[in-house]
Structure 1
Amino acid sequence: MRRLPVYLLLDTSGSMRGEPIEAVNTGIRVMVSALRQDPHALETVHVSIITFDADARVLTPLTALDELQLPHITTPQSGPTHLGLALETLCSQVRREVLRSTAEQKGDWAPYLFVMTDGKPSDLQMFEQQSPKVRALGFANIIGCVAGPKARREDLTPLCDHVVALDTMDSVGFTSLFKWVTAAISGGNRSMGATSTVSLPPPPPEIQIVL
């Protein structure tokens, strides 16, 4: 069975401390639980979690759903949002983990990337350098979420195919976000190979598609 790699890049900068990051933890648990109820996703979806603040960390390398042990994500007291560094880390992981098709065998399906941030990249020059490199890796879909009042859709436009906005950074908002992400993964998972166009499910009221 060919794999569908799914990469999650999650902002853990200081501004995410407290309720926002706990809501993210809850949302991810909801997402993984729902995907495990989908037999086809359980066979194909593999998940990687990368966080970024002053540093970028691979918390979970690409792992099958039935083997996935979710980490408890935390944040520092304060600190910058080094999304550019996270993209550089992502590129290394994708090149290492995603199997490409060869004459002898079919590789993985084109991967999905979800990026969530509540602010502008602090390392803007690196972000601008790494964005085209990420896009060149052949993702089926790159979806960004700007959360909270300080984040702007323009900050993720160079990287993402679609950007959604989440006004509230509480458990209700992030749970809705990750349920929607789940639907996007499941829909893409079922359509792999059937169409060249990857469409997104309608978002819940808490989420606005802005790109």
Structure 2
Amino acid sequence: MRRLPVYLLLDTSGSMKGEPIEAVNSGLETLVEALRQDPYALETVHISVITYDREATVLVPMVSLEDLQLPRISTPDSGPTHTGEALECLERLYKSEIIPNSEDKKGDWAPYLFIMTDGKPSDVMLFGQMCPRIKKLGFANIVGCVAGPKAHRKDLEQLCDQVASLDTMDSTSFTTLFKWVSDVFAQGNRSMGAKADTLPPPPAEINLV
């Protein structure tokens, strides 16, 4: 069975401490539970979780949805948001993990990327350099989310095909967001990794451009 790789890049900088990161933890559980209700997703989806604050961390190396065990995500008390470093980490993983098509074997479906932040990149120059490199890798869709009043949509618009925004950062909002993201990935399964011109309609709490 060909894989549908999914990468999640999650902001864990100090501003996410407390209720926001707990809401993200709950949202991730919702995403995984929703995908596991889809028999085809259970067979094909493989997930990797990368967190980023002052450094990028591969929290969950690429693993099948069936074998995935979500760790509890935490944040430092304070510190920068090195989004560019996270994209560098992603590029390395993509090049080492994604199985390309060959004459003898069909490789992975085109991967999906979801990136979430509540602020803006601290490493602005590196972020700007990495955006076009990530876009050239061959993701089926790159979906971003900016959460809270201090998030900068224009930064993620350099990278993402679509950017969703959340006005609040509570558990209900993130649960709704991650449920919608699971619908996006499920659509990727049905389209067998093909690039989607449109995404599933988001709920009212999510603004999508």
Q: Tell me the equivalent position of 2:191.
A: 191
Distance in 2, matches of 1:74 and 1:197, equals 33
Q: Tell me the equivalent position of 1:205.
A: 204
Query: 1:148 and 2:148 equivalent?
Result: yes
What one-letter code is carried by the residue in structure 2 that aligns with 1:184?
V
Query: Which segments of 5 or more consecutive residues in structure 2 lack a partner in the other structure?
Result: none
Distance in 2, matches of 1:33 and 1:119, equals 28
Distance in 1, matches of 2:187 and 2:35, equals 11
Secondary structure at 1:51's aligned position in 2? strand
Residue by residue over 1:103-135, the C-alpha shift from the partner in whole angstroms, topping out at 9 and shown as x without a partner, is: 111100000000000001000000001111111
Secondary structure at 1:78's aligned position in 2? coil
Distance in 1, matches of 2:196 and 2:186, equals 15
> For the Cα contact (< 8 Å) 2:141–2:196, is it kept in 1?
no
Distance in 2, matches of 1:133 and 1:73, equals 28
TM-score, length basis structure 2: 0.98
Query: Which segments of 5 or more consecutive residues in structure 1 lack a partner in the other structure?
Result: none
What one-letter code is carried by the residue in structure 1 that aligns with 2:199?
L
Secondary structure at 1:67's aligned position in 2? coil
TM-score, length basis structure 1: 0.97
Query: 1:166 and 2:170 equivalent?
Result: no
How far apart are 1:197 and its partner, in Å? Answer: 3.5
> For the Cα contact (< 8 Å) 2:141–2:195, is it kept in 1?
no
Segments ≥4 residues shifted beyond 4 Å: none
Secondary structure at 2:79's aligned position in 1? coil
Distance in 2, matches of 1:132 and 1:61, equals 24
Secondary structure at 2:59's aligned position in 1? strand
What one-letter code is carried by the residue in structure 2 that aligns with 1:142?
I
Q: Tell me the equivalent position of 1:4.
A: 4
Q: Tell me the equivalent position of 1:32.
A: 32
How far apart are 1:8 and its partner, in Å? Answer: 0.2
Relative to structure 1, is the Cα distance of residues 151 and 199 closer, same or farther in structure 2, using a 3 angstrom cutoff? Answer: same
What one-letter code is carried by the residue in structure 1 that aligns with 2:73?
I
Q: Tell me the equivalent position of 1:122.
A: 122
Number of equivalences = 209
Secondary structure at 2:149's aligned position in 1? coil
Q: Tell me the equivalent position of 1:177.
A: 177
Distance in 1, matches of 2:97 and 2:191, equals 22
Secondary structure at 2:6's aligned position in 1? strand
What one-letter code is carried by the residue in structure 2 that aligns with 1:205?
A
Q: CA RMSD in A?
A: 1.0
Distance in 1, matches of 2:132 and 2:191, equals 26
Residue by residue over 1:38-92, the C-alpha shift from the partner in whole angstroms, topping out at 9 and shown as x without a partner, is: 0000000000000000000000011001110101000000011000000000000
